[in-house]
């Protein structure tokens, strides 16, 4: 009897933890959302990516590249928000990356997650996300550029000594 009660308790816990997962459509150009992302030189395109994050900065899924055919927009597909059930609200933000370098984040926004019911509802869009821009994209020099600069400086110093 004790084993049966323990098994039933474990099944309930597993069911509750599995159902505590809402979904969101990680795209800034569908589902009534039009929120392009721009930088100092205009709308962002190839070479940049967007990362969905919880309000505390925790990454949700993989980053999504900005679309070459629609600058300023990204489409990352469905993301599951663990620990927040479908139908509940989650506060999110979008981080912009170039490679692994964080360039900036959107303002935080709150969405009601999809994935509630049986069958689950469709993922919700990023309603509440507004267009935003990042500033201060500092170019990172290649190592060879730094070496050439040091060689040039050394040559100037040697020439000055003679």
Task: Output the tens digit of pLDDT for each of the chain's 162 residues.
Answer: 555 555 555 554 444 444 558 999 999 998 788 999 998 888 999 899 999 999 999 999 999 999 989 999 999 999 999 999 999 999 999 999 998 889 999 999 999 999 888 888 888 899 899 999 998 665 566 677 778 788 888 888 888 776
Q: What is the pTM of this model?
A: 0.71
Domains of the chain by residue range: 21-161
Which residues make beta-bridge pairs with 84?
Answer: 21
Stretch (H or E) spanning 17 = helix 2-19
């Amino acid at each position: 009897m004790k084993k049966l009660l323990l098994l039933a308790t474990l099944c309930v816990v597993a069911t509750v933890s599995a159902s505590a997962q809402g979904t969101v459509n990680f795209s800034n150009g569908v589902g009534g959302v039009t929120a392009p992302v721009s930088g100092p030189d205009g709308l962002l395109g190839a070479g940049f990516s967007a990362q969905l994050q919880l309000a505390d900065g925790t990454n949700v899924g993989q980053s999504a590249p900005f679309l070459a055919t629609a600058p300023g927009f990204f489409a990352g597909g469905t993301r599951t928000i663990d620990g927040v059930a479908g139908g509940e609200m989650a506060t999110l933000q979008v981080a912009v990356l170039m490679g692994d370098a964080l360039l900036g984040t959107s303002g935080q926004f709150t969405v009601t997650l999809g994935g509630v019911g049986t069958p689950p509802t469709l993922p919700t869009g990023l309603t509440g996300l507004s267009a935003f821009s990042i500033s201060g994209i500092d170019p990172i020099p290649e190592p060879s550029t730094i070496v050439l600069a040091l060689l040039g400086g050394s040559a100037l110093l040697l020439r000055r000594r003679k």
